[in-house]
Amino acid sequence: MSAFMYGTSQPYRSVRCGDVIIHRHLQLAISYHQREELSWDAYLRYAPKGPLRSCCSSNCCSWKLKTPIQDAPNNLQRLLQSHTFSIKKSSWRASGSAMTEISQGHISPSAAEKHTGSGHDSLIETAKQHIDQQLILEGRRKFSNHLEDHVLDYFHNNPINIEACLTTCIKLFGNVVNNPTEEKYRKVKAASNTLKNTVLVVKGGEDLLLHAGWTPRVIEMEKHWVFDAAADSVRFGVLKEALHLTERALHTVHEKAEKKRKEREEKLHKESAEKERIKLAIEEDKAARRQRAELMALGAAASPPPPSAASTGSAGASPTRRSPAGAAPKPH
């Protein structure tokens, strides 16, 4: 009997539509808490305002204002249980009249189903889609801001390094998006050359992974980057947006990287030419010095040697007078 909920016969007037909507929203909010994607306080901000009008007039919002956010999951469960019991209690009291009205044709089972809550499933599903979309857009905005403000910072990051970082991110993100069931693409070692020489070289590269939904985790005593979100989760939606933004950014970076490469090549060419010029100048100077030394040596060998001091002295002295032979020396 599709007209009944909770295993009991529920008349269309036994449960107010607002109560059922609150009940569904509580269930949806708890599911967000369990996935750690959204707090209850944030849920009320992101949820469509229309379905929450009745909620805002109930004890739900007053409870929210008095309850610390960190205690929200447990309180949500208690509130959900209390609300479920209230719905059951009111349905039990009116179950007899409900069956009577349905049997007498006053209300059709489909109308009863609509008012008892099953018909609100599509409404809550729409609310969930709305919230998920808001969260994905919020994640996209944060990723885009970080990409523009920190990674695409050409003052601190070299365009060539940025290009390598984005290329690696596109590969990581694309493998998960295109192969959501393949576990091998959802984990990469932080110490691998794939990350260490590309993403982690760039200022802001590590946080780029965080904004895309990847989380650091120690596996078997080694740090890994892991993406463990389901294919229908908000984080997976953010990853898709991150992939699109990264691909778009790579086109602009590629032009600047090519320009930077040409500038670097020209600089290296100039430096190499300057070194070669200096080397040639040094070699020419050495050759000139060697040539001068050789010429001086040849000139010295061709000229006569200068007279020695002994020969000069003997040639310039006057002949010495000799005493006559046999002459006796003069007495002193």
What are the residue ranges spanned by the domains of the chain?
17-134, 152-255
| CA angle 238–46–229, rounded 5-degree value | 30
Instruction: For residue 150, name the pLDDT band (cuts at 50, 70, 90).
Output: very high
Q: At CA 75, angle to CA 73 and CA 76, rounded to 5?
A: 65
Q: Which token pair is 241?
A: 């947006």
Per-residue pLDDT band at 117 (split at 50, 70, 90):
very low
Q: In this model, does residue 39 exceed pLDDT 60? A: yes
> Taking every pair of C-alpha atoms in the chain, what is the biggest distance, in angstroms?
189
Q: Are the C-beta atoms of 157 and 202 separated by less than 8 Å?
A: yes
pLDDT digits (tens, 9 = 90+) for 210-247: 999 999 999 999 999 999 999 999 999 999 999 999 99
Q: What is the DSSP letter of 268?
A: H
Residues in the chain: 332
* pLDDT at position 94: 47
CATH of the domain spanning 152-255: 1.20.58.2190
| Residue in 17, 76, 79, 82 with CA at minimum distance from that of residue 50 | 17
Contacts with 204 (C-beta within 8 Å, 6 or more apart), sequence order: 146, 149, 150, 151, 153, 157
Highest mean pLDDT among 1-5, 159-163, 188-192: 188-192
Among candidate residues 176, 196, 197, 189, the one with its CA nearest the CA of residue 242: 176
Higher pLDDT, 212 or 27: 212
Q: Is the pLDDT of residue 176 over 90?
A: yes
The winner for highest mean pLDDT among 29-43, 104-118, 271-285 is: 271-285
**Mean pLDDT, residues 201-206:** 94
Q: Which of 39-43, 53-57, 109-113 has the lowest mean pLDDT?
A: 53-57
In terms of average pLDDT, the best of 40-49, 280-289, 319-328 is: 280-289
Q: Is the pLDDT of residue 183 over 60?
A: yes
CA 194 – CA 171 distance, rounded (Å): 10
Candidate ranges 45-59, 242-256, 311-325; pick with highest mean pLDDT: 242-256
Give the DSSP H or E segment for 185.
none
Edge-to-edge strands, sheet with 187-189: 187-189, 222-226, 215-219
The pLDDT confidence band at residue 91, using thresholds 50, 70 and 90, is: low
Mean pLDDT of the chain: 72
Q: CA-CA distance, 88 to 330, in Å (whole number)? A: 168
- 319 or 209: whose pLDDT is higher? 209
